[in-house]
Amino acid sequence: MKLQKRFIASIVIGLVLLVGIVYLLMSPSKQSREQRERDQASGAEPGMRMDDSGQLVIADDPVTHLERYKKWAQYPPTSRPLFTGQVDLLDPYNAEKPPIGVLQSPAQGCEPSTGTEAMKCAKAAVLSDVQCSLTPERYISIGAKDFRVFLSCSSPKQNEGKPLAIDSIESKVYRQVYRKITPSLPAIASGDDGQNGDQKAGDHIYTFTVRPTGQDWGDMFLETTFKVGGFVHNQRANWFSTPHKIAEFQQGIRDANRNGQLVVSVPVNVVKAGYYKFDANLLQQEGDKAPVASATFEGDLQAGNQTVELVFFGKVIKDSKLDGPYVVRNIRGMRNNSPVTPSILKAALLSGRQIGAQQHTEPLQEYMEPIAVEHVTDRYKASEFSSDEWQSEEKERRMKYLEGLVKEGN
């Protein structure tokens, strides 16, 4: 019997060691795969960092960086492979954040921090087991229509882990531009009564309904103080407000395989001329609805009816080996309100003209209402698209520069 137990124990130990070895062997490959995906998905050259003077410099050794750049530069910065883990692109206006713990008792006897030293307290703060989420319905609000923020709290020990009742709710709304915080109108309603935007009465998910004014342009936040689980708690939720219309999407989106590239033409009525950026995602319509590619358009648009062409690079689609029909999703637009837009900067560089100091008091972005519908393309095959790599003068100059660094190193 003892021999049998020892034999079983040795098998168990062996299996544990085997699993550990397999995990150690797989971890680097998983990390390298995730790094490759990040490189390929990024619209910016990988392997760069900011130095102390604010300049972008190469973080890798020249040989490694050149190889990373070659792989990255198969595709243009304006159209990249899209992966499942890219939540910021696949759900771009999702404002959810991890819940915040509620204090049971605050820190006591604290001294102000000096320099890089952390604040020292005679008695540390104690967290309760209650956590609260305060979540805007999305990251942006457009126009002056009602906008909702949802509050819920839970505890594994109270109410069987279901949302807790909240009372003594007080709230304020503010806008913030260049660190200047200005009070706005308070929420027009808050509660759990199934009215004024609240979805269901008595579910302990409380709704604040905010109605932006014409002055509420830029970063906004709602601050609320309330009681939950026997504790007083304060929390904020942030979003970005554009209370005026800058442009709107129109019906009639079209798609075509043009010279091996998938071109999606999007009609737009531009109200406010300026430098715009449009983004969209391409996914398979059938099966697992796998992500395929992202595409970006940037440029100056005049007021009036325009057609924005979002080009999903052919090689990105072909390399994915994912056949259509595809769904064009998350079509969204933003106007660059900076006094020095990329087109102004490019013109200044080409002409040698210097751009002086600019005074600007308005927010730097204005958002459009995203398209609510999805566009389904024709039934393309991935093999129909071009296998040609991206070519440009910009790429040629960068390749020569990086190859020169490699030669200098040798």
Of the listed ranges 34-48, 269-283, 388-402, the one predicted with least confidence: 34-48
**Cβ-based neighbours of 387, under 8 Å, separated by 6 or more:** 314, 315, 318
Tokens of 355: 């751009």
Whether 328 contacts 264, CB under 8 Å: yes
Q: pLDDT at position 9, please?
A: 47
Supply the pTM of this predicted model: 0.85
Using the structure block, give the residue that is written with the tokens 């002055």: 215
Mean pLDDT of 86-108: 91
- In the chain, the domains with their CATH numbers are 93-105+123-242 (2.60.40.1930), 247-388 (2.60.40.10)
Contact 210, 146 (CB under 8 A): yes
**Predicted local confidence at residue 107, as pLDDT:** 84
Beta bridge partners of 308: 266
Is 51 buried (19+), middle (13-18) or exposed (0-12) by CB count in 10 A?
A: exposed
CA–CA distance, 119 with 125 (Å, rounded to integer): 12
User: Residue 10 above 90 pLDDT?
Assistant: no
Mean pLDDT, residues 196-225 taken together: 95
Instruction: List the end-to-end C-alpha distance of the chain, in Å, as a whole number.
Output: 67
Give the pLDDT confidence of 146-174 residue by residue, as tens digits.
999 999 999 998 888 899 999 999 999 99
Q: How many alpha carbons lie under 13 Å from residue 96 in its C-beta half-sphere? A: 7
The kind and range of the H/E element at 79 are strand 79-81
Q: How far apart are CA 301 and CA 263, in angstroms?
A: 19
Contact between 192 and 198 under an 8 Å Cβ cutoff? The reply is yes
List residues bridging with 326 in a β-sheet. 284
* Pairing relationship of beta strands 218-228 and 231-242 according to DSSP bridges: antiparallel
